[in-house]
Amino acid sequence: MIEIFTTGGTIDKVYFDALSEYQVGPSAVAAILRDNNVHAPHRVTQLMRKDSLELTDDDRAAICQAVAASEAARILVTHGTDTMVETARALAGIEGKTVVLTGALQPATLKHSDAEFNIGFALAAAQTLSPGVYVAMNGQVLDPSRTRKDREAGRFVAD
């Protein structure tokens, strides 16, 4: 079974007209898996609902704790892209698990979003990669220790 932890981020941003702004909403990943008829057994757990620029050390500790405590050998974490590498590096100590972090540069609610493609890509990566921690963005499997987000280019690059 694939364990999926959601933490928020752009992928889950929803527009609230009454507030005239975008806020992180319910996670998009469960609906994406359902809409794409994914039958691989999986469980989705929301850990928090934050823009990744607002994640605290306590939040990162909670993410690490959840991943370490999971009985699953294969874990997907959806996360904001701005500090995805930081969280991935914090997960480096965990052994015996394949952990893949992904997210999106454009909210899943947008007509043109990379959310569905990224979730599909990351799900396959989580199913096939040997144990370790990976960032899966822009159609690439990346080593967090040698990756950073290039904000202007809108993609992740090797450091």
Site membership for a second copy, residue 112 (CB under 8 A): yes
Site membership for a second copy, residue 120 (CB under 8 A): yes
CA dihedral 100, 101, 107, 112 (to 10 degrees): -50
Residues designated catalytic: 10
CA dihedral 120, 54, 20, 115 (to 10 degrees): -10
* Number of Cβ atoms within 10 Å of the Cβ of 145: 11
Site membership for a second copy, residue 21 (CB under 8 A): yes
Site membership for a second copy, residue 53 (CB under 8 A): yes
Integer Rg of the chain from CA:
14
Residues with Cβ within 8 Å of 49's Cβ and at least 6 positions away in sequence, in order, are 6, 7, 8, 12, 24, 25, 26, 27
Site membership for a second copy, residue 128 (CB under 8 A): yes
Find the binder of a second copy among 48, 66, 116, 132 (CB under 8 A).
Answer: 116
Q: Which amino acid is present at 100?
A: V
Site membership for a second copy, residue 6 (CB under 8 A): no
Distance CA(27)–CA(18), nearest Å, equals 20
Largest CA distance in the chain: 46
Our CB check for a second copy shows the closer of 3 and 51 to be 51
Site membership for a second copy, residue 15 (CB under 8 A): yes
Q: Which stretch binds a second copy (CB under 8 A): 16-24, 55-63, 68-76, 86-94?
A: 16-24
Shortest separation between residue 65's beta carbon and a second copy, angstroms: 26
Site membership for a second copy, residue 34 (CB under 8 A): no
The site for a second copy (CB under 8 A) is made up of: 10, 13, 15, 17-18, 20-22, 32-33, 35-40, 51, 53, 81-82, 105-107, 109-112, 114, 116-125, 127-129, 136, 138-141, 151-152, 154-155
